[in-house]
Amino acid sequence: MTTRARRLAASLLILLLPAAFFPACWCGRDAGRWFRGDREMQMALARHVADETLGGISVKDFKTGSSLFDAEWAFGTYQMGALGLAQVIREHPEMRAELLPALEACLDRLLSPGLAEFDARSWGEHPLESLDGDKGHAAYLGYVNLALGLHRAIAPESRFRDLNDRISAALEHRLLASPIRILETYPGERYPVDNCAVLGSLAIHARLGGRDCPAVADALAAWDLYVDPASGLLYQAVDGSGKPADSPRASGTGLGAFFLSTGGLPLGRELHAAIRRSCGSGFLGFGMVREYPRGSAGSGDIDSGPVPFGIGFSATGFHLAGCRSAGDEAGFRALYRTAHLVGTPLDGGGRRNYVCGGPIGNAILLAMLTAPRP
Amino acid sequence: MKRPLAVLLVLVVAHVAGIHAMARWRLMESLLAPNARLPVAAAIGFLLARFALVFLGPGLVILAARELFRKRAARFHEEAPSS
């Protein structure tokens, strides 16, 4: 080996060797604080999310190229913002006075005609003005009701209490009337993940009322139909007879597990374990979640985000909540490193902005990083 | 690796500029939305610069320090009076 070749080899070694340990240490330096529920850490992101939601985010702020997806993202920003803010208040009740106005602003926006329009247009009826009807509206009503339930848990005198009761009654009635115990999100479209939000919201409502919820017990008894026996993941979509209409995927399963855990339903932890078993992946200490179970592959879509090398953006982010809810600190640390690397936090003025996430990414991260611990 | 310090500086500048561009124009959404027309290339470019800085930055710092030390040693030998 010539001197030049030896020098080049030494330079490459120096260049690459620190990559084996330094990036994981650097990107994971906040992971422990997030896992333990450090107040300053949570408040920095909560303040940023509160600023963005109080500032007002509309459908026009998103440019996905699809008016339906733009509306869903605006809706998702407020829903995840509401869940995250409610979880921070639940973990740090002394922050209630500061965060409650932003949380209630999120709820007001979720209930506004502009954000319900995407659902109303698909169904031909407004979801809140047709609660006596029998159409599903699983996503809109389930997601809104989950946020209303969490708000009610921290503000029992809530002005949204009556609406929470009425939506819960409508969802219970519709679930019991459904032969396959699954509600439609849009006409002819059934997504187990949206029904997880329905179940989680009903479980919270029943718990706050100190009663059992037969609709939830009934639906969970039929839930095996919607879980892939090989991977343990939820099918992303099912047809009118309950048969799979899409593959089992980690993005839907991760979000569904979060909704179920929020409602205190044990199925959430089972789904978390299935994701870890079937889709868990990692590189140099950075945790990742495959969108499709090992041994199968597919493309990404609006739910999963891009799927480079089989790794799902959304699935990886959603699984943070599963790890925190299950008390899985090692898994949480590994996934947080990836979220930190890709999310790119920018701190200033007592606030933290994950600049790559935008408003919806920050709201989702707040909800996932503050998911209830066991 | 002849100019580790220059590479490091380019990465740092690209990264800092990229962070502010991402915060201002929310370029990442173009990656998450398959139909978006926002500049996907800029978002991917930023991510590549960030990954390069995080993964290769420490090695580049060590190489730059080594280069600096080597140059100083060479200058010292040149300036030292021959006996």
- A361: chain B residues, CB-CB within 8 Å: 28
State yes or no: pLDDT of B1 exceeds 60: no
Q: Do B51 and A341 touch (CB under 8 A)?
A: yes
Q: Are A311 and A290 in contact (CB under 8 A)?
A: yes
- B54: chain A residues, CB-CB within 8 Å: 23, 26-27, 341
Q: How far is CA A212 from the centre of its chain?
A: 25
Structure token digits, residue B43: 């978002």
Interface predicted TM-score of the whole assembly (ipTM), two decimals? 0.80
- B4 to chain A: nearest residue by CA? A15
* Contact B31/A at CB under 8 A: yes
In angstroms, the separation between the Cα of residue A286 and the nearest Cα of chain B is 12
State yes or no: pLDDT of B33 exceeds 60: no
Give A136 or B32, the one with higher predicted confidence: A136
pLDDT at A61: 74
In angstroms, the separation between the Cα of residue B16 and the nearest Cα of chain A is 10
State yes or no: pLDDT of A365 exceeds 70: yes
Mean pLDDT of B68-83: 78
State yes or no: pLDDT of A275 exceeds 90: yes
Q: Do B22 and A356 touch (CB under 8 A)?
A: yes
pLDDT band at residue B27 using 50, 70 and 90 as cut-offs: low
Give A300 or A49, the one with higher predicted confidence: A49
* Contact B5/A at CB under 8 A: no
A295 phi and psi angles, rounded to 5 deg: 95, -10
- Considering only CB atoms, A355 lies closest to which of B22, B36, B54, namely B22
Q: Are A57 and A78 in contact (CB under 8 A)?
A: yes
In angstroms, the separation between the Cα of residue A298 and the nearest Cα of chain B is 15
State yes or no: pLDDT of B32 exceeds 60: no
Q: Do B23 and A63 touch (CB under 8 A)?
A: no
pLDDT at A101: 95
What DSSP letter does each residue of A114-148 carry, written as one string? HHHHHHHHHHTS-TTT-TTS----HHHHHHHHHHH
pLDDT at A300: 76
Q: Are A223 and A193 in contact (CB under 8 A)?
A: no
- Considering only CB atoms, B33 lies closest to which of A17, A65, A346, namely A65
% residues pLDDT > 70 (chain A): 99
Q: Do B35 and A341 touch (CB under 8 A)?
A: no
State yes or no: pLDDT of A258 exceeds 70: yes
Q: Per-residue pLDDT tens for A17-71?
A: 999 999 999 999 999 999 999 999 999 999 999 999 988 777 777 766 677 778 8
Q: Are A141 and A89 in contact (CB under 8 A)?
A: no
Q: Do B58 and A306 touch (CB under 8 A)?
A: no
- CB neighbour list of residue A301: distance below 8 Å, 6 or more residues apart: B34
- A357: chain B residues, CB-CB within 8 Å: 28
pLDDT at A277: 95
pLDDT band at residue B20 using 50, 70 and 90 as cut-offs: confident
pLDDT band at residue A85 using 50, 70 and 90 as cut-offs: very high
Which is nearest to A165 in space by CA: A213, A125, A117, A218? A213
In angstroms, the separation between the Cα of residue A61 and the nearest Cα of chain B is 10
State yes or no: pLDDT of B39 exceeds 80: no
pLDDT at A131: 94
Residue A328's region, left for phi above 0, alpha for psi from -120 to 50, else beta, is beta
* Contact B2/A at CB under 8 A: no
* Contact B69/A at CB under 8 A: no
State yes or no: pLDDT of B37 exceeds 60: no
pLDDT at A65: 67
* Contact B39/A at CB under 8 A: no
pLDDT at B73: 85
pLDDT at B22: 82
Distance CA B46, CA A340 (A): 15
pLDDT band at residue A230 using 50, 70 and 90 as cut-offs: very high
Mean pLDDT of chain B, nearest integer: 81
CB atoms within 10 A of CB A77: 28
Interface test with A, best of B19, B55, B62 (most A CBs within 10 A): B55
Which is nearest to A204 in space by CA: A246, A271, A143, A113? A143
Mean pLDDT of chain A, nearest integer: 92
Q: Do A64 and B33 touch (CB under 8 A)?
A: yes
Q: Do A305 and B32 touch (CB under 8 A)?
A: yes
Mean pLDDT of A297-317: 84
Which is nearest to A80 in space by CA: A305, A317, A368? A368
In angstroms, the separation between the Cα of residue A69 and the nearest Cα of chain B is 9
What sections of chain A are H helices per DSSP?
3-16, 22-27, 31-36, 39-55, 67-91, 96-111, 113-123, 138-154, 161-177, 192-209, 214-221, 250-262, 267-279, 313-326, 329-343, 358-369
Distance CA B3, CA B8 (A): 9
